[in-house]
Amino acid sequence: MTLAIFQTIMNKILWNLINTRKMVSFIDNMLVRTKIEKGHNEIVEKVIKRLAENNLYINISERSEKWVFWKW
């Protein structure tokens, strides 16, 4: 699968969350951005749920340096 095809798939899966401008998806990178803490967890949960509904899963490992939570 090419990166362009994967990006198109991610856009289709997450389109309504991306349109709120509270999240961005670029290939295998996702950023949930909120100005305040309130509501942040709900958006993260929606992203994870949407991925799971489409048989896509997040690989979280202790060695991963890409994961940053709660950075304000």
User: Model's pTM, two decimal places?
Assistant: 0.74
For residue 72, pLDDT over 60 is answered with: no
- Band of pLDDT at residue 15, cut at 50, 70 and 90: very high
The residue whose two tokens read 């749920």 is: 49
User: Distance (Å, rounded) from C-alpha 66 to C-alpha 72?
Assistant: 16
Higher pLDDT pick, 1 / 42: 42
pLDDT of residue 8: 92
Confidence of residue 23 (pLDDT cuts 50, 70, 90): confident
Which one, of 40, 10, 7, lies nearest residue 22 by Cα? 40
